[in-house]
Amino acid sequence: MTLARRSLAVFLFIVASVNTSLVNAQITEDIRAVESSIVKIYTTQAAPDYFTPWRLLTPSQSSGSGSVIVGNRILTNAHVVADASYVQVQKHNDANRYTARVTFVSHSSDLALVTVDDPTFFSDLEPLDIGEMPGAQEEVYVFGYPMGGRTLSITKGILSRVEQQVYAHSGDFLLAGQIDAAINPGNSGGPVIVDKRIVGVVMQANSGGRAENLGYFVPPDIIQHVLTDAEDGVYDGFPDLGFRTQDLESPAAKNAYGLSETQTGVLVIKVFEDSPAFGILQENDVVTKIAGYAVAGDSTITVNPELQTNYKYAIDLRQIGDSIEIEFSRNGKAMTKQLVAQKRQQSYSLVKQEAFDEIPEYYIYGGVLFVPLNMNLIMRWGPDWNRTAPVALLQARSEWSSPEKRELVVALQVLASDVNLGYHDLRNWVVDTVNGEPIRDFKQFTRKLRDNAESHVVFRNGSGYQVVVDHQQALATEASILNQYRIPTAHSEGLFDE
């Protein structure tokens, strides 16, 4: 190599080194600018025990992460503060813990807002802005306080894909981003950062042990939806138009429902009463467009060149009261209608999804503990609940609710006494009728017992098996049964409030 070439090579190396140093310096400066806005959240949680619903489970302590945003608010995960009885927040490089309170929760999207009333807490903190969804393969930084240490952790990764995912906390099917940055317990609620802006909130890592360094975050669209919802302090949630569909990719099925070879859409299999779609859509209609997006046979829409996801995304972006245009085909005839986005019904299934920050409902009659069936109860059978919970309760998850049957009632256990002699072994028994009257929901069921004028109450399940209780004896022994089993009241607080 000639002297001139060697000199040029040295010069290029020096220039490259300087440029790299400048980039690293910029990255370090950006990181330092964000660090002070990341906080650690300490939570004491006391969830109710759905096996004995008048009690709380043993309190537990956990921690998560959060980021300061405008309005003296801290953005974090809902599961970080779910069922919280006491919350504290700690700033970066500050040994003090400040008492905090939860101001808004969206369990559906696993997001929550927390604040600190101490006026000095936010005085030296710079709020972070919400950015845009990063592009595919774009580099991101994850900030948080994961297990294994007490100081702030920063990891780097790339955005690998964006699509609808089942959120582990709520079971809802919403848009999520996937990254390869390391995410561990304690990272929950921490921000995903690009250019000093929040482009996501870490919510869950891959489960099952089949992949490493694989995590998911709540993307900016969902964050902005929740922040808009929080403006009036009243939780509305994500809208639901009240219909369910299945993929329509089979050429034979498309032909049977009047679609041409070039047309695409999804088949309507259920329309719920008292929903925006009721009276407009019918079963066996084919939805071809939602909010201007063409719906493919696999239930996806193309939002932009980088995002193809489930059509539900077009609905999730809307707020309650917004109008959503829907195009569909009925027996080959194209139709267009406007649906008004409404709040989701309490449950479209006979089994209500897992709830948080709520008092369980129960009613003790004749020494029998009656409860409504919900996922909180089913999940009380432990981490392997889908195999250990009673089959009859699990099967109910696949049944739709209706105005005539909104909820199932379970005789969970019997508090043994003379009034229920002969039924002491009764467990996890689904009640179908009371004195021959079908059960609509738990409130109707409990009012039926409270207002009963018959001498006996006959409970019957779907197979015809009966449990008979003497009504006057049930009333006369209520106090003694409660005292014997150290139960404070015969029913949950507010059960009979109108």
Q: What is the pLDDT of residues 83-133, one digit of tens each?
A: 999 999 999 989 999 999 999 999 999 999 999 999 899 998 999 999 999
Does residue 476 lie in a domain region? yes
Sign, CA torsion 416/419/423/428: negative
Does residue 178 lie in a domain region? yes
Does residue 79 lie in a domain region? yes
240 beta partners:
342
Evaluate if residue 71 carries a pLDDT over 70. yes
What number is the average pLDDT over the span 140-151?
87
pLDDT value for 495: 92
Evaluate if residue 204 carries a pLDDT over 90. no
Percent of the chain with pLDDT over 70: 93
What number is the average pLDDT over the span 454-459?
97
pLDDT band at 207 (very low <50, low <70, confident <90, very high): low
Evaluate if residue 140 carries a pLDDT over 60. yes
Residues 381 and 305 occupy one common structural domain:
no
| Per-residue burial over 463-474, b = 16 or more CB atoms within 10 Å of its CB, e = otherwise | eeeebebbbebb
Residue partners of 215: CB distance under 8 A and separation at least 6: 142, 178, 179, 180, 181, 182, 183, 187, 202, 204, 205, 206
200 beta partners:
192
What number is the average pLDDT over the span 52-78?
95
Residues 177 and 288 occupy one common structural domain:
no
| Per-residue burial over 136-165, b = 16 or more CB atoms within 10 Å of its CB, e = otherwise | eeeebbbbbbbeeeeebbebebebeebebb
pLDDT value for 13: 36
Does residue 247 lie in a domain region? yes
From CA 271, how far away is CA 279, in angstroms rounded? 9
Contact 243, 275 (CB under 8 A): yes
Evaluate if residue 31 carries a pLDDT over 90. no
pLDDT value for 306: 86
Residue 367 vs residue 13, higher pLDDT:
367
**End position of a domain, from candidates 232, 261, 296:** 232
Evaluate if residue 209 carries a pLDDT over 80. no
444-to-361, 392, 413, 427, 475 alpha-carbon distances in Å: 13, 22, 20, 22, 19
Residue partners of 280: CB distance under 8 A and separation at least 6: 337, 339
Residues 429 and 454 occupy one common structural domain:
yes
At 69, which CATH number?
2.40.10.10
Tally of domains within the chain: 4
7 beta partners:
none
Residues 422 and 459 occupy one common structural domain:
yes
Does residue 350 lie in a domain region? no
What number is the average pLDDT over the span 255-275?
92
Residues 224 and 301 occupy one common structural domain:
no
**End position of a domain, from candidates 232, 247, 270:** 232
Residues 187 and 288 occupy one common structural domain:
no
Backbone region of residue 209 per phi and psi (left: phi > 0; alpha: psi in -120 to 50; beta: other values): left
How distant is the alpha carbon of residue 215 from its chain centre? 17
Residue 147 vs residue 252, higher pLDDT:
252
Tens of pLDDT, residues 403-446 = 899 999 999 999 999 999 999 999 999 999 999 999 999 999 99
pLDDT value for 347: 73
Does residue 132 lie in a domain region? no
Residues 156 and 266 occupy one common structural domain:
no
Does residue 46 lie in a domain region? yes
Residues 293 and 228 occupy one common structural domain:
no
Evaluate if residue 10 carries a pLDDT over 70. no
From CA 358, how far away is CA 361, in angstroms rounded? 9
At 294, which CATH number?
2.30.42.10
What number is the average pLDDT over the span 195-213?
76
Does residue 84 lie in a domain region? yes
From CA 266, how far away is CA 189, in angstroms rounded? 35
321 beta partners:
none
- Strand segments, DSSP code E, in 280-356 are 286-290, 293-294, 300-304, 307-310, 323-330, 333-340, 342-343
**Domain range for residue 212?**
139-232
Residues 254 and 162 occupy one common structural domain:
no
pLDDT value for 11: 35
Give the Cβ contact number of residue 481 at 10 Å. 22
pLDDT value for 26: 53
Residues 287 and 384 occupy one common structural domain:
no
At 426, which CATH number?
3.20.190.20
**End position of a domain, from candidates 203, 232, 261:** 232
* Active site members: 79, 110, 188
Residues 337 and 368 occupy one common structural domain:
no
Residues 197 and 214 occupy one common structural domain:
yes
